[in-house]
Structure 1
Amino acid sequence: MQKYYLAQVNISKLLAPIDSPLLADFVAQLDEINALAEKSKGFVWRLKGDNENATALRIFDDADIIINMSVWETIEDLKEFAFKTAHVGVMRERNKWFEKPSGAMLALWWIPHNYTPTPHDAKERLESINKNGSTPFAFTFKDVFLPIV
């Protein structure tokens, strides 16, 4: 039987350039939060650029959108990290650094355990949620689907 992992993408549109004073508090926390993720139960992989985070990667047409992608063994593992660790503090402060989203900013989907998701995959999943809502192809924490086997 095939084993599946949970892939996630979340995007944010910056209120100012990443190196601006407005974003300094956010940037100062990146290494700590990324290290916490990597040490968390169920963590498998995360998208990284040359600076060990993904903030310099420009995947979308809008250069002010930053991307975060990771893979987890289970949805429970991702929830534990996202909602019960220091990561929560960053989420509480997000309105200081990022625009209020006009569309989907998060997508979750199942991948075979030996597959590394791509930014293209992430864009497809976000577009799918914007067009179709949550489906087995792409969903949110609010509407979780099990892997299709």
Structure 2
Amino acid sequence: MPQLALYTFGVLKSPLADPTPLTREFYESGAAVYRKISQYPGYLAHAEPADGAQGELFGADWGAWGEFAVPAWYDKGRTAETTALAATLSLWTDLRPAFDAIYAGLHREALNRRYDWFERTGHPNYVFWWVSDDVTPTWQDGVRRLEHLQDHGSSPHAFTFHHAFTADGTPLTASRWRSPGPAR
């Protein structure tokens, strides 16, 4: 059965290593958000460094998730001291569980504060695509899909919640996949 891959990307207003309270708050809330999201039904996995190291994105060993990559429009630092981005790569069973996890609870609270932490770049900040159940998406896949979404809009190759597609490429309206479900 196909699985839904999700890549998210945002440019932070200051580097992750910045000791200011606002940056520290973002970093600390991220850990709690990840713990909560991993408990949602429909969540399958997310990219983590193979060696368990946290904080280093570009130099980490991401195992099957591949070498860490970012979109062409990211023009800030790439070292532990200068990196100013937040990116995730995850797998889900379907759109509804991903929607429920992203737009509820702690993650919803973080979304409400996103402009405190993130720059408004004018670029998409997330993209979905379908993968076979035996495929682990890579960071490079996520970047290519996000850039494709930027250049061509939603398609079965790269899409958003608002303009989604089934695994066989059939367009979905939000009303078809957002049937009432439990909010957390």
Is the pair's TM-score, using the shorter chain for normalization, greater than 0.5? yes
The letter for the 2-side match of 1:86 is L
Taking only the aligned residue pairs, the percentage that are identical comes to: 23
Shift in CA distance, 98/51, structure 1 to aligned 2, threshold 3 Å: farther
Q: Tell me whether 1:108 sits opposite 2:128 in the alignment.
A: yes
Q: CA deviation at 1:33?
A: 0.8
Amino acid at match of 2:3: Y
Matches of 1:12 and 1:147, distance apart in 2:
26
- Whether the aligned pair in 2 keeps the contact of 1:57 and 1:66 (CA below 8 Å) is no
Larger Rg: 2
Instruction: Give 2:175's aligned residue.
Output: none
SS at match of 1:86: helix
Give the TM-score taking structure 2 as reference length.
Answer: 0.74
CA distance in 2: counterparts of 1:100 and 1:51, whole angstroms: 29
| 2:64 is the alignment partner of 1:66 | no
Indicate which of 109, 112, 115 corresponds to 1:95.
Answer: 115
TM-score, normalised via structure 1 length: 0.90
Structure 1: gaps spanning 5 or more residues: none
Q: Aligned residues, how many?
A: 145
Q: 1: distance between equivalents of 2:53 and 2:101? A: 22
Q: Report the equivalent of 2:34.
A: 34
Higher helix share: 1
Match of 2:9 in 1: 11
Q: Distance in 2 between matches of 1:100 and 1:17?
A: 16
Give runs of ≥4 in structure 1 deviating > 4 Å.
none
Distance 1:83 1:51 in 2: 28
Letter in 1 for 2:103: F
Q: Distance in 1 between matches of 2:111 and 2:48?
A: 20
Structure 1 vs Structure 2 CA RMSD: 1.6
Q: What is the identity, as a one-letter code, of the residue corresponding to 1:57?
A: L
Q: Quick one: distance in 1 between partners of 2:53 and 2:105?
A: 23
Q: Deviations over 1:30-77 (max 9, x none)?
A: 22111111111111110123445xx63142253333311111011100
Partner residue in 2 for 1:139: 159
Tell me how far apart the structure 2 counterparts of residues 31 and 127 of structure 1 sit (CA, whole Å): 27
Partners of 2:145 and 2:9 lie apart in 1 by 12
1:92 positional shift: 0.6
Shift of 1:101: 2.4
Find the partner of 1:128 among 148, 165, 179.
148
